[in-house]
Structure 1
Amino acid sequence: MPDIAMLERIAAGSPAGTTLIPWDWRTAPAPDRIADIELLVSDFSVAGPGPELYARMPGLTHVQLCSSGYEGWVRDLPATVGLSTGRGLHGASTAEAALAGVLSLLRRIPDAVAQQQRQIWDPLDVNVLGGRRVTVVGAGDIGRRLRTVLEALGCPVTTVGRSARDGVAPSTDLPELARTTDVLVLAVPLDDSTRGLVDARVLAALPAGAVVANVARGAVVDTDALAAHVSAGRVSAYLDVTDPEPLPAGHPLWTCPQVLITPHTGGGAIDWRERYADLVRDQLDRHARGLPLLHTVGTPG
């Protein structure tokens, strides 16, 4: 694992006989015992060590991530190696970020901050969230948390998932659902089925004045189409993620008054490391006892 402080957290309470090896494969040479590694624990990293280093880890059976997203890891991961995400670690924090971003735009907080910096007192006309029709794309932990809070605020909520099931509409319905969506929240993993899911067709279907909040991955949204719609003033957007990430200098989304951007901090609550250490210790215990690991996802091959 690359984080020494995290290693020290995990060491307390790890199963007897466990050897923890500090190694940041992005910046440091391979450790002497690389061939003995059975579990690889990552911090926030968009991709794994790569084929050459994987080949030097014949004993590797599983990789543990601290993020919910894993799209960059599956490309090179050997088919014999399992992959677990940090599902649930960041759900509450990310749901709060989505809610805060939407509320900030509706309540015109960025405009109020700009006035404060210029020492101007000029009451603004603001909007309320209660009663607005919300579509949440993502039926996992984040989506469930958002639905609970939004319904408590008086918002009718539609949840969208990959396929139809009780209480969940299929993603194929999104272009039609967008027509009656005042707030569109994206909280879904990035894969082939969600890449570009919110395209020009979906954005054009949204009512004028709609808010788009992306706390998923930037590539879930067609960036060029979104830039066109916010620049025209049709919709506003809260973006905790972008495509590309970060946006290049001079990109119109940086300066568009209809856009609020945060630097991918949705899941970055201060205490996430303690929760991650607890999860890793649990996974180590399961591995030692021959039990299935938690939060596994499918990999190619």
Structure 2
Amino acid sequence: MWLPIPPREIEGLPAGPRYHHWDGAEDFPADPADCAFYVVPYMRPPAVGQRPLSRMRSVQVVQTLSAGTDHVEPALRQLPPGVRLCNARGVHEASTAELTLTLILASLRGVPDFVRAQDKGEWRGGFRPALADKSVLIVGYGSIGAAIEDRLAPFELARVARVARSARTTERGPVHPLADLPALLPQADVVVLSTPLTDATRHLADAGFLSRMKDGALLVNVARGAVVDTEALLTELESGRLSAALDVTDPEPLPPEHPLWRAPGVLVSPHVGGPTSAFRPRAERLLTDQLSRWVNREPLRNVILTTGAAGA
């Protein structure tokens, strides 16, 4: 078992397996060919997490500590059939939802302007938009999208609309399919992207998507940078028609000379939705549960795909 957290620091790991700590170092802790359960290093470049996979001939489970799995999926074709890929559902919902709310409020209330004014010793008052009475559209209504709505609930919104791959009904109301986006976008004051990055969602927020957003609307991306067409977004930002709050960008990390840094009406945070004090205890609980299930031959949680299966 390869774990990115030192095994001795994780309480409750099942006895029996041999545990090795590897968090992306140049040297492997053991022969990758002997690894049966691989936990991908967290917040490392995709090439780091993918590097040992081509040599993992005995691997049965690949477990990410992120909600998204796009950073390892390209290397899965190197694995034998039957390997299960699991994500970290249950680990990042609270932190990502907190940051989403932070980005919305900071952008609407002009907090970045206040910080710049404070640096200059300037007192800048005036009216700012409130979140109250706004309409919010959440695009990507999985566990993170639902957690975002949970935290929006006390803010006296006019409306929350939800979009996912397919339509369904929740306790909070209907979830619309992606096909309904053209009709929903013009009604939203705030559009939150919390969808996984897939072939279907890459550049989902393209020029057509953005053009349908109402004048003055705010785009918030806590999904993956490539869900947004960066050039199309820059066009809207530079025109002043839209504003944006981005925890993820394309490219990422954002190069120092990139125009997004200087575009008007944009707030950029450096992909910090997940890495908070809430991460470690939740990640450790996930690992102890998954490894116990694997040792006891019980069904694993959060299985995204199985290599060799139809559609994988």
TM bin, normalised by shorter chain, reads: over 0.9
Moved more, 132-141 or 47-56: 47-56
Check whether the contact 1:6–1:273 (CA below 8 A) recurs between aligned residues.
no
Identity %: 41
Q: Which moved more, 1:40-49 or 1:143-152?
A: 40-49
Alignment of 1:27-106 (within 5 A): 27-44=25-42, 45-47=44-46, 53-77=52-76, 78=79, 79-106=81-108
- Distance in 2, Cα, partners of 1:62 & 1:34: 13
Residue segments in structure 2 that go unaligned for 5+ positions in a row: none
Query: Does the aligned pair in 1 maintain the 2:41–2:49 contact within 8 Å?
Result: no
Q: CA deviation at 1:174?
A: 1.1
Superposition TM-score, scaled by structure 1 size: 0.93
Tell me what 2:194 maps to: 187
Three-state SS of the structure 2 residue aligned to 1:168 is strand
Q: What one-letter code is carried by the residue in structure 1 that aligns with 2:166?
A: S
Residue in structure 2 matching 1:260, options 249, 259, 267:
267
Q: What does the per-residue CA deviation read over 1:117-141, in whole Å, with 9 as the maximum and x for residues that have no partner?
A: 1111121321100111110011111
Structure 2 Cα separation of the partners of residues 180 and 199 of structure 1: 18
Q: C-alpha displacement at 1:46, in angstroms?
A: 4.5
AA matched with 2:58: G
| 1:120 partner SS | coil
Q: Which moved more, 1:44-53 or 1:66-75?
A: 44-53
C-alpha RMSD over aligned residues: 1.9
Q: State the Cα distance separating 1:29 from its structure 2 match.
A: 3.0
After TM superposition, the structure 1 = structure 2 runs for residues 118-267 of structure 1, keeping only pairs within 5 Å, are 118-155=120-157, 156-166=159-169, 167-267=174-274
Q: Is the CA contact 2:189–2:214 (under 8 Å) kept in the aligned structure 1?
A: yes
In the alignment, the residues of structure 1 paired with residue 49 and residue 183 of structure 2 have an alpha-carbon distance, to the nearest angstrom, of 41
Structure 1 runs (4+) greater than 6 angstroms displaced: 48-52
Q: Can you list the C-alpha shifts for 1:167-201, whole angstroms capped at 9, x where unaligned?
A: 10011211221111110000111001111111111
C-alpha distance in 2 between matches for 1:99 and 1:204:
24
User: TM-score, normalising length from structure 2?
Assistant: 0.90
Shift of 1:225: 0.6
Taking a change above 3 Å as real, the CA distance of residues 41 and 119 of structure 1, as seen in their structure-2 partners, is same
Structure 1 unmatched ranges of 5 or more: none
For 1:85 and 1:50, the matched residues in 2 are separated by 14
- Pairs aligned (count): 298
- Per the alignment, in what secondary structure is the counterpart of residue 29 of structure 1? coil
Instruction: Supply the AA of the counterpart residue of 1:145.
Output: A
- Could you say if the C-alpha distance between residues 161 and 33 of structure 1 is closer, same or farther in structure 2, counting changes exceeding 3 Å? same
The residue type equivalent to 1:15 in the other structure is P
